[in-house]
Amino acid sequence: MNKKAIKLVFVAPVFLGALVIVCVFAFQGVQRALIEDNEVLAHTVAQSLLPALLVNDSHQVDAVVKALEANPNVLSAELISAQGAPIASYSRSGESFDPLTASFELATAEDDPYKIHVIAPLTFDSLIVANLHIAINLWPIYMRIMTWLGFILIVPSVMYVLVKHFQIKLRFEVLSSDDGSAGGGPGFDVRQAVSAAMSDSNVSVEYQPIQRMSDSGSFGMEAVVCWRHPSGQTLHISPDDFVTLADKSQIALPFDEWLLVTACSQAAVWQHQFGPLILAINISGSQYNDPFFAQKVREVCVQTQYPYQLLELEVREALVLHHQQRALENFKAFEAQGLSLTIDGFGLTSASMDVLEILPIHKVKLDRKLVKQMNTDATIAQLVQATVDRAISQDVQVMVDGLESVQQREALLRMGCVFGQGREFHPPMSARGFEAFLKDRSFETSGARSLELLQSRQRGNFSTV
């Protein structure tokens, strides 16, 4: 036996053993990620069920539970009252499961190693109203992962065979220089390319006014993504949904930077024309959890000359509630950069009140579902009043999203809500339309407006550094 054969005999088992260990740890990591994702699914469904339970809308409860049919991995779901009585159920296989066996961990091997049972309590005012039990089959997800893993392993092998067979030669060149060009040709500007792509796709940033509830005075604007579809339909998309869709589609272009730069550049122009105006932008989960995103936002503010103290980054309540310890770390990271986070979609669960005690929050935005139902449902109105009272007692400003009528506005103003947005005030507008809107408004003196903004944000003098 030659030296190469001896070396192969010893190296091959080590390599295979290391590969097996890596695969085991990778499988465990995938399991944990899948469990967390399905816990989020269960709690998201629970949050959708709670308002319907509070208003005793059995049809809506059945519809939400029935909607789980769209998820092919959900085997069964059962909503049970705190006293143990069944409220609604759904079963793909026609078989229900014993709620007593539900847990946040994988089921025992004797039961089914590829199935998890998740329980999500529905709480109102610290009391459990009902419990949602969901059984989820992980095997189809594992199969998809293994299929993609197979493709990942096969494609390089096929490419290697083709290259060797046809004797293909590949050459890679990097074009770079200090002046942004190479070989006498123009350099490639990624930011300009993204802006051009957005223009060609008829995607733009529009702005919805944020106004005072008391006198309809302009306080600022929220940036939304507007997509004019070739069919003629116009869609308004939240920036966090826009960035999340790009992430999920694995489109590796700086959409988040394009949104920030576009909105902040325009807001800086209006600030010089009309005085200080708050700019609100809803951020995605990936941005919220990115440890470098807060620094990126500060750099954009410096670049566009828009005061970072006027920027309000909105994060959805579901992201905050899922990991409260991580939420505290994230809020502190943004606060260290002088940035403020507003909780969007606030008030649907009793856990909403808990975050007011834990996190350094200055403003919350009531969920539009509560605003829509409060004038027709006394229970929802009481819930909104209690939520606003609790926030104000914590020195937290309450903003309203989805205003549609004068009655809603007057009722929320009496409760103590300060700012609002919605079709009662004005729908989103293009930059040109919003500028015309600002010109038509009557503004207070710049000193009074600046004082109001300073009190709202509890920050120092406005600056861009």
Q: Any idea what the CATH number is for the domain that residue 26 is in?
A: 3.30.450.20
Task: Say if residue 82 is in the same domain as residue 231.
Answer: no
Per residue in 303-344, pLDDT (tens digit) is 999 999 999 999 888 888 877 778 888 888 899 999 989 998
Task: Say if residue 350 is in the same domain as residue 432.
Answer: yes
In a domain, residue 116? The reply is yes
pLDDT of residue 237: 65
In a domain, residue 173? The reply is no
- Please state the rounded mean pLDDT for residues 211-216: 86
Provide the residue type at 232 as one letter: G
Number of other residues whose CB lies within 10 A of the CB of residue 105: 10
In a domain, residue 216? The reply is yes
In a domain, residue 414? The reply is yes
Number of other residues whose CB lies within 10 A of the CB of residue 86: 12
Per residue in 123-136, pLDDT (tens digit) is 877 788 888 888 88
Per residue in 104-115, pLDDT (tens digit) is 443 433 455 567
pLDDT of residue 452: 53
Q: With 0-12 CB in 10 A as exposed, 13-18 as middle and 19+ as buried, what is 97?
A: buried
pLDDT of residue 305: 93
Residues belonging to the chain: 465
Which H or E element spans position 382?
helix 378-393
Per residue in 191-211, pLDDT (tens digit) is 555 455 555 556 788 899 999
Task: Say if residue 314 is in the same domain as residue 203.
Answer: yes
Task: Say if residue 101 is in the same domain as residue 237.
Answer: no
- Please state the rounded mean pLDDT for residues 424-428: 85
Contact between 334 and 361 under an 8 Å Cβ cutoff? The reply is: no
Q: Structural domain of residue 246, as residue ranges? A: 190-457
In a domain, residue 156? The reply is no
Task: Say if residue 210 is in the same domain as residue 289.
Answer: yes
Per residue in 153-193, pLDDT (tens digit) is 677 777 767 766 666 655 544 444 444 444 444 444 545 55
Q: How confident is residue 422, by pLDDT bands cut at 50, 70 and 90?
A: confident
- Please state the rounded mean pLDDT for residues 391-405: 89
Contact between 313 and 342 under an 8 Å Cβ cutoff? The reply is: yes
Alpha helix (H) ranges present in 177-254?
190-200, 239-248
Task: Say if residue 104 is in the same domain as residue 199.
Answer: no
The structural domain count of the chain equals 2
Helix, strand counts (H, E) of the chain: 16, 13
Task: Say if residue 305 is in the same domain as residue 437.
Answer: yes
Contact between 202 and 196 under an 8 Å Cβ cutoff? The reply is: no
